Amino acid sequence: MRCIIVDDCPHFLRAARSLLKGQGIEVVGMASNSAQALRQAEQLKPDVALVDIELGSECGLELAGRMRLETGPSPPLVILVSVHAEDEYAGLIEESAAAGFLAKTALSGNAVRALLAAANEDHHDSSISGPPET
């Protein structure tokens, strides 16, 4: 699995890269703002992008939507991350283009894999179910 990490905190970028690499996830890029993240997503073609919700003066929720629209035919699945609890952003996360959310304290290779598996299963189920019958 190929991953980019998008966060405005250099310490978190380094710590997350080290953690994920140690757990079998290939971290192919790190970005500290939306422009870098979009460029890396388009060039590096990661499977997943971990995006901080509070990205300095930018919004990670907005970046999740932009990644879907601006990074080519196979955009990465976005997992939003934050130091805050999921319930603080629940409605915004649900409405976003992200595949899911992880608290930074819960970040692990297994947690990322589990979210991606669930997102892929949801995508597969919706693509084969077709429109509702009337």
What was the pLDDT predicted at 125? 52
Helix (H) or strand (E) holding 3: strand 2-6
What was the pLDDT predicted at 72? 82
Structure tokens at 57: 């003066």
> In angstroms, rounded to a whole number, what is the distance separating the alpha carbons of residues 88 and 97?
17
> In angstroms, rounded to a whole number, what is the distance separating the alpha carbons of residues 23 and 26?
9
Which residue in 47, 15, 45, 52 sits closest to 31, CA to CA?
52
Spell out the domain ranges in the chain: 2-129
Q: 2-129: which CATH architecture?
A: 3-Layer(aba) Sandwich (3.40)
What was the pLDDT predicted at 87? 86
> In angstroms, rounded to a whole number, what is the distance separating the alpha carbons of residues 21 and 36?
21
pLDDT digits (tens, 9 = 90+) for 44-84: 999 999 999 999 899 999 999 999 999 888 899 999 999 98
Q: Would the pTM count as exceeding 0.95?
A: no
